[in-house]
Structure 1
Amino acid sequence: MRFANVRQSEAAGIGIIHQELALIPQLSITENILLGNETARFGVIDWVSAQRRVRELLEWVGLDDHPDTLVKSLGVGKQQLVEIAKALHKSVKLLILDEPTAALNETESQHLLDLIVGLKERGVTSIMISHKLNEIEQVADSITVLRDGQSIETLDLEGGNVDEDRIIRGMVGRSLENRFPPRTPDIGDTLFEVRNWTVQHALDPSRLVCKDVNLSVRRGEIVGLAGLMGAGRTELAMSVFGRSYGTYVSGEIFKNGRPIKVGNVREAIRHRIGYVSEDRKGLGLNLLDSVRRATVSARLDKVSSRAGVIDELQEHEIAERYRAALGTKTASVDASVGKLSGGNQQKVVLSKWMFTDPDVLILDEPTRGIDVGAKYEIYKIINDLAAAGTGIILISSELPEVMGLSDRIYTIFEGRITNEFTAAEATSEALMVSMTSTRKAGAAA
């Protein structure tokens, strides 16, 4: 079959859910699901029958929100379900899902995986693109491994002898004996402290997203911040980084034992604090920039004359240096950053903040949507930064990642730090207890 446009492929029963959700936040669930496929009589939308149909679809995907609910008020997990309902409304026969669980917590991910299995039982075929190998193993009948734009092999799960190590070998072209590179920590004195930090929600002043938070990072230390989605991890990180989220209520920030003022992002950068956002396309990069412009964008003063004129030769040399150091795959540093893969975009974001010479670097979901080979490269970069004396705050939804990289781990629940673990004390069970309640849990919990 050949399709001249999207509408023709949809008419043939093909639907796709992109990694970047394609919903309109200001419209309701009903309006989003029916958009372009409205039920109308004499040119007038029949909202009664429309809502009846939407309720059936929402029940099918397991979403109990009212059809009139605005999409912007839904979490990412529920928005994914709206996208699936939207595809089902078009009588989809083949559903393509691109990284559908990348931004979901474990409960939301499991619900979505169960839904995919349920669609299979109803005769809907799914192609699921994902870097979460355990999820692929759970739902797939076969796995096709891609590397550098080529099909490497197709593995039949029915035949057995397929495990994560086997899949990884196909993805990266070699075995990964260890998921995390070896590291011998060299931890110094306390570098950065947050004391009694309290912040209001950006839209709801009655709600606190950070509640009397206290944490510290020592020089050369990787400190993990573990919590479920909505626990306040990103809100804490952004509010500390120049109060770029919410409304400051109280608290102090100390660097090298002295209080510092970080009332905005410029001040945070001046105090050599960096922040790699979880949203690399929305907040981390300007996708219209070239790689070289993106690399220097947070510290243009370092490549500018006193008159404010950018030295393009120096800019190019710096971008080339970071491209080589981080192994960023791009034909040229003049290429658009928007055309790079997710892993290479992430390396550009890291280059951008490494160029600011940070003493403290906050990494918010640094490997989200990145394949296992690129993850290993990012892990090595994080370890190298720590070895150079940078204090790292690592936020990740993947517990193995937090446990595999961190020297210490704080758990956060409903905006409050609930516990602190050394690397030796941390277990998945103990972390989950502290991530889901306010009660203290020791390593034996």
Structure 2
Amino acid sequence: MGRIFGTDGIRGKANVDLTPELAISVGRALGTVLHEGGSKRPTVLIGRDPRWSGEMLDAALIAGLTSAGADAVSVSVVPTPAVAYLTKRSAAAAGVMISASHNPVGDNGIKIFGPDGYKLSDEEEERLEELMDSDAARRPTGTGVGRRLRDPAAVSRYIEHIVGLAHVDLTGLRVVVDGANGAASSIAPQVYRQLGAEVITIHCTPDGENINAACGSTYPDVIAQAVLAHDADAGISHDGDADRLIAATHEGAEIDGDVILAVLARQMHHQGTLAENAVATTVMTNLGFKRAMAGLGVEVVETAVGDRYVLEAMRERGLNLGGEQSGHLIALDHATTGDGILSAVQLLSVVRSTGASLKELATVMTRLPQVLVNVRGVDRAGLPDADAIWEVVRSEEERLGDGGRVLLRPSGTEPIVRVMAEAETEDDAQRAVDVIADAVRDHLTV
């Protein structure tokens, strides 16, 4: 079969790559593994985002789980972080989220959480794949077969959890919320309203096919324009499974994950609640963030791209704050995975407690112009040994000096090499990217 789990679970085109047959196999393997761990009748929570294929895959996963003797508890349409939280709170043996996050409606995915609310380790995923490739999965009969159960109160428990983490009243704040027509569409507005905010919703009417369609966190201009149109104090934009947050100021300026992370890090640093006085980010984090943290005396722990690696570094170092430029932010004191709604509550709490606007808070860092180019149709595997390319990289790094940086890395899934540069001016960054991208094409084109 080959490895099917990527850095964020299983992801692919629904009914082509991610088929009902595959989902049944995943469910049966998971149920078998949970029995191996000593559970006599393990319970698995299952949530999904509203895309059409979610119902199909939900039914298939439940068939596989119950076939292996596990009870499957459906919590219906909920954010990914809700599944992680509810799994841990309910003492379930595992949790499964069916979602392709910010991907288009044709895609879908499966993320599995352990009883502690964290995603499975590589070793645990490999064990599942071994069972999927074998005939060793359990097939009990009679009353040994699992059952499908429902938990209609699950959403309310998650909302109560998030609201309970806020210690400020948001009354008087007018907020526009873009739900990406996804899992946050009804839940996020409820949270912000319960905290006192006046909420205006856009793209919060999912119909199964409009998820992430020209809306949500991957379209930051949409929330920026909506804030201006409604004369709001702030804009909050989530993705399809609500594990990300992108915000907008009252003037319609984008506040991405780097800036939000900087705002939260500074606040926690001043309060003395930033564990190890450090924050975890990826190599894609803007140099302006690193300069801002250096000015505060906060250490920046850098990881490979992906929230999985950020989380690993946080757990290894005992950190409680980390995140990505994409808006995937992790607050380990309160959650075991990225939670866009929680991140928004934390950000709006800083607005209220400091009396500063988002625009004022965003001045915590000065963003350097960043240019990113994907060089396609190249032999990414040859990059490490392409000395001529790395010589060009060194030359550009010397030219930029302390005023910028370059990053060159292969895609993990496509024949693409990504070239990124930051500099004091966009022209300087563009020049560095163009020169390096040309070198990549000259030496790695297939």
The normalised TM-score by structure 1 is 0.31
The normalised TM-score by structure 2 is 0.31
